[in-house]
Amino acid sequence: MGAHHACSGPGPHRHPRHPPTGRPSVPDPGPGQFRVRVEACGLNPLDYQVAVGGHLEWAWLHVLGLDVAGRVDAVGDGVTGILPGQRVAFHGDLRRPGGLAEYALADAPTVAVVPDELSAVTAAAMPCAGMTAYQAVVRRLHVKAGDTVLVTAGWSASCAAMPCCRP
């Protein structure tokens, strides 16, 4: 399986003189997980921030890429409502290998079915921005019908916040 690894030391521009080589194996989904054949992977500020400093639970070489879109390839035991062949998008767990690979694993509750009219690239751009917007508008601000909300432009979560503000 091909993948892009985070293999440098601290700092976004440091790379080893001779990067490690090899191909990671295709991961098998465990109970409650599904595997996706990746079609697109969105990169967010969180991706480069954790690439700089790493994470204590990473096993090096680590595959980056939190926002993933593709087709379900396999499902683990106990997974319901997700079928092989379905188009999905999800926001991964930064402690686990990500979506800059041919295949990625995720927990079943994190999946959103992608409609046919939405491209994989667009779908992969939505999970982190959408979750950020939802948390800000619904969970933090408790916006409800009749409230006035000013959404400033300039970042993807701003665009995702506007539908969250509609009644």
What pLDDT, on a 0 to 100 scale, did the predictor assign at position 114? 93
Q: Are residues 73 and 138 in the same domain?
A: no
Question: Same domain for 67 and 19?
Answer: yes
pLDDT < 70: residue spans in the chain: 1-24, 54-55, 57-61, 153-167
In 38-142, which ranges are continuous DSSP H helix? 45-53, 120-124, 127-134
Q: Are residues 40 and 79 in the same domain?
A: yes
Query: What pTM does this model have?
Result: 0.74
110 and 158 part of one domain: no
Name the residue range of residue 10's domain: 5-118
Same domain as 93, residue 26: yes
Q: Domain check: are 133 and 114 in the same one?
A: no
Q: 136 and 94 in one domain? A: no
pLDDT tens-place string over residues 104-134: 998 988 888 999 999 999 888 887 777 777 7
